[in-house]
Amino acid sequence: MPKKDYKPLILSLFQDKNSASFQKAKKELRKLIQKTLKVYFSPEVERLLRKHYKNDYMEELFQETLVKIFFSKRTLLKLSFISEGYLFTLIKNVIYFCLSTKCRALKYEISFEEVKEKWKERFKDSEEIEKVKAEEIVAHISFDYLKEIKAEEWLEILVKILTPKDRDTLCHYLFRIFEGETKEKGSAVLYKRWERLKKKIKKNLGKELEGEEEIFKETLKKFFKRICQKRAKK
């Protein structure tokens, strides 16, 4: 029996949320989330989610999964086939994220006046900013906020997978990029380490990197500030 292709479901999730196709896909995705909880997690995990997010925990997981899917849109659209296992992995990552109580970060609220204050530098004068639609600015603010979350996720992955030697190699190159250091001591060895490190990062972050260069640059900036500069001070 051929395996089910879930790409049509993913495509439906990119439709208008009031459309019949979106609502049908939403029900199916919620079933997959429930199945992921039962197959990969203990009942205690579901109890913790219910305790923290009340009866809204399934809707919370659905919304977070939807955000994750939108983040991976370019990659997902390039895939010719999307398996159940692929979606299980995606949903598992969302559940781990929510267990760290970060889910509600997406419910970031800001008044229009605060938004205008944040975006004044983009406009020549106060009259011009008044002409800009509120939803247009808020959309940018929301996107920037989601990019920040994604960069934090990737930073966590880097911290977990990189060995002390990997960190030395990455920091060496980041110091050259961000502070202009040009020390070439042991450059041949470092070059080989750098080539291995690039493959390692690509293997762990995979296709998520495609089309997300700006987010990855932000991730490297965070790594440089939090890891490299601290190590240099010791």
Strands (E), the chain: none
Q: Which residues of the chain have pLDDT under 70?
A: 1, 100-146, 149, 181-187, 207-208, 234
- Please name the residues in contact with 121: beta carbons below 8 A apart, sequence gap of 6 or more: none
- Neighbour count for residue 226 (Cβ, 10 Å): 12
The predicted pLDDT at position 106 comes to 41
Extents of the domains making up the chain? 7-106, 116-233
The predicted pLDDT at position 122 comes to 52
What single DSSP character describes residue 5?
Answer: P
The predicted pLDDT at position 95 comes to 86
Contact 59, 9 (CB under 8 A): no
The predicted pLDDT at position 144 comes to 55
